[in-house]
């Protein structure tokens, strides 16, 4: 964590429900396993990735070249992905280590991006814990039974370290092939996971979880803490197995006002990250539609803040007081625009990002499935051609 970010994290006081605060603190202490840092053979420790452009930028240093990777770079925009996924369900592809590793590596080979992002899904921790969930094509995550009462939360199975072995194996296989290119681990943030669990399926407005926060805050806190521990364990498995950084995705946080985020969501996000802080890897926080939440998202204690396409990076940096490196924020819609328009936009993003203590170029959302992969390769070449001064 950069010193300024650590200072903010250390002084922030989250508003929380009074329900079971001492028990929650004890639960976090008990859930964080194996504190003590990374093994000597980890890529961050043995010289493979510590000085890479990505990690250097995440830590506020001067990279040898301008780093870039794309959210959803491993996915339906790549013909090689479609080929290996033929006849394999989404969650199955995430839980077959050799397949998950191959999919993770594909965009690195094709685009020469500066990081791999682990191929998985935010509901994998639920699946591995024994929660009935599947990815329905054209719909998204669907739970067998929504979680809406205190009894529902109490009945949730607990994720175990043993159940995470397919994840660790996939990461080990991937890191063995990546060489000096860092792997980024990821997990869904507790609010986004809990929102799916309450609604039972994707929702436009997330009324269910937003209502539960106020109508039954004790049950909400218990559910958010369950999700936080599942996400935190998922992140730790990836980092210990070889990932060099970790990103917490809060896809649905943009549906919240600042007060609700600070009171009902930030404590759980911080709890998830508590599982991995001792490892010393850079931590990134990203959400969509979260321009008004950026400071609160930083203050859960992260090193880098991801910014979606709605807010210019220089304005994001101003709001954050220049305290942390930024990641983002090419508008995915422009990937299908004429090249001269896309090129000008990429240059604008880089110029705006120069105000921050560090900048990793990314999209302001995931790669659209219809994106021409040749365009992404060309964008990477453009970014690498621009001096990181």
Catalytic residues: 72, 76, 85, 121, 196
What does DSSP say about strands 304-306 and 326-330: parallel, antiparallel, or unpaired?
parallel
The CA distance from 146 to 13, in Å, is 32
**How is residue 63 written in tokens?**
């990279």
CA angle 12, 17, 18 (to 5 degrees): 105
Instruction: Answer for the pair 334, 313: CB distance below 8 angstroms, yes or no.
Output: no
């Amino acid at each position: 964590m950069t010193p300024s970010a650590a200072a903010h994290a250390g002084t922030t006081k989250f508003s929380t429900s009074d329900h079971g605060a001492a028990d929650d603190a004890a639960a976090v202490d008990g859930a964080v396993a194996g504190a003590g840092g990374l093994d000597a053979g980890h890529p961050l420790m043995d010289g493979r990735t510590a000085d890479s452009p990505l990690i250097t930028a995440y830590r506020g240093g001067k990279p040898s070249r301008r780093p870039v990777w794309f959210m959803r770079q491993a996915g339906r925009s790549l013909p090689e992905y479609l080929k290996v996924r033929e006849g394999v369900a989404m969650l199955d592809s995430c839980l077959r280590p050799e397949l998950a590793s191959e999919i993770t590596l594909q965009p690195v080979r094709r685009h020469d991006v500066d990081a791999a992002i682990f191929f998985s899904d935010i509901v994998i921790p639920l699946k591995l814990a024994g929660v009935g969930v599947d990815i329905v094509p054209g719909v998204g995550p669907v739970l067998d039974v929504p979680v809406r009462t205190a009894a529902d939360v109490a009945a949730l199975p607990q994720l175990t370290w043993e159940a995470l072995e397919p994840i660790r194996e996939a990461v080990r296989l991937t890191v063995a092939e990546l060489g000096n290119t860092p792997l980024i681990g990821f997990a869904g943030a507790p609010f986004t996971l809990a929102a799916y669990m309450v609604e039972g399926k994707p929702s436009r407005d997330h009324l269910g979880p937003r209502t539960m926060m106020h109508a039954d805050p004790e049950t909400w806190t218990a559910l958010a803490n369950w999700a936080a521990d599942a996400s935190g364990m998922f992140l730790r498995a990836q980092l210990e197995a070889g990932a060099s950084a970790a990103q917490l995705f809060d896809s649905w946080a943009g549906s919240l006002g600042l007060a609700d985020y600070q009171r009902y969501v930030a404590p759980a996000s911080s709890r998830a990250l508590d599982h991995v802080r001792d490892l010393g890897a850079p931590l990134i926080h990203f959400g969509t539609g979260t321009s008004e939440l950026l400071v609160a998202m930083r203050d859960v204690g992260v090193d880098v803040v991801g910014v979606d396409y709605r807010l210019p990076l220089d304005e994001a940096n101003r709001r954050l007081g220049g305290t942390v490196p930024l990641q983002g924020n090419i508008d995915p819609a422009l990937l299908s625009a004429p090249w001269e328009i896309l090129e000008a936009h990429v240059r604008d993003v880089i110029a705006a990002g120069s105000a921050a203590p560090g900048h990793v170029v990314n999209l302001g959302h995931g790669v659209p499935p219809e994106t021409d992969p040749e365009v992404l390769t060309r964008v990477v070449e453009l970014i690498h051609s621009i001096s990181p001064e």
